Chains A and B, each alone.
Chain A
């Protein structure tokens, strides 16, 4: 029985979301028009309406016009609260900045932009779809999302709501923004790759000379002895003994048992290769990223890993 009830509720909820999605097409920025704004009295609003009824009965029974008048005053207040709550959000434009890439387990920060010709909504509570949300101020609120799964995800429905000014009526809107964010596999070297790296680094790089320190050089590579003697900042330089092979192809390591761990390993290896300025390519079962180097290439590789 209970299961059936839950199922029905889920069904209804799904219907409502579907209906909402039809009402609000996906756009880069959403103007809060009458079509997408909803109003409904809050608990306090209902309590005050009940008070209006109570006052009407009281005023009628005591034949006291002033009590009735007070009741009407409260009724007009309730009605105008609908309008005021609506106008508080009406004609605001909501837009989300494209968020920075994140790895699984990170937090994605999404910067929103609110605009309106005159003033900004007061006492606005922002949150994702079915969360309660937080009170925000200013025109650029920041929302966070937990990056749980790798991939290229659209941001969830945004819920904007406010009970301003009298707390009698809640005005809210579900906004679907056409903004997506990348979640890459968290780079983690497998023990095999780590072992191999150790072996490589032992014999692959050799001291090749020194040069002047430039900002950005690793402090580890500073020649401290010379600095203490001659007050001269020099950096050790190492060169690979055997020239890096022109191309390194990364492919999943079959020895790793889970697919996700394979991807994490690939991501870590790609990062290491990028740090070493070693051009590399990626070969996956259905996909291939051509040989290349540079941050854009790394991102492309990671995107390929995120999507597979």
Chain B
């Protein structure tokens, strides 16, 4: 008789959890969502969790990370804390209404839906799915395709809540909406929230999303955000990732742009144990403009992996991608960016650039920019660099009396600024600059309390 345990694949564990808790999971969601859920779990059974054999996950083995037995949040368990004790949000000009998600659930259970002036709506995704079925049905699971991404399928099967944001035609939301994802518990947890943002034609909005861990245990997040940007609409989206070294997150962002829309999206990865960002952009109409940028600062054993897919499906669209990173100690990272220019997408302008600075011999980054062009009248470029700090510039500064450490900081800060200046929310731009400088100085070594006043 063998005493060897049969190893259960993490995929099977999640399939079992799904079956076991199917009532909890479906409870609270309308039928049309649960029908998609059923399709999603089947798809997840086929695709599973990506491992290194998957070309797109070659440098980040997620199968391992999901094999952890962390607690899942299948109902909104509220941990009582006073928001104002923890957050001192002193970024000026942000919308006073701060939206909190706690372990993937909309925090303010008393007020799940807020109607804003002009007919805009912000609130809990779960509540919105029930209250505005026509609106949600039209967009939900339409952009985050589960036919290729096992983790999107998994999120679609399991996720119950998240943030819903709706801006009707022609409405302009003046002040940025701030969403804070909080992870806080006494034990290790795994969250999967789902956001849906809808900007109808000719509308405008800015969204700022911050990720924070507020307690020590390890966390894993597998989030999906779908954003629909209607004709001639304008979205500014900034994400700030600031979690502790015991946190791992996979963030899937799907942007669908209609004709003549404009999107500026930035992801600033300040801190986190393992971060995998998947950004998919569909330029789904003529004349779209998209700027997607990312900045990542890693040290110790942190790992960052940015994956970007820009789909030029229509003519006359412009996309700009800029990703920059500084890797210290034995941090590792990867960047993979694909620009697809379809056959009919003439007059496309697509630019992509990834620049990295390695501060030590042990830090490592794999970078893979790719262009796939099927149209003949296009202007595209891509490039990647991996280097050290410019020694000539360092010496030049030192001969002016600037100590080596300060000179290095100035150079790193200047390197990062190229990304920071693409942030289009002015107050946030300043704050991020400040945070990045602090991070580079090593003053923000952990972020499990918001005493840092970082958002």
Do A and B bind? no
Residues of A whose CB lies within 8 Å of any CB of B are: none
Residues of B whose CB lies within 8 Å of any CB of A are: none
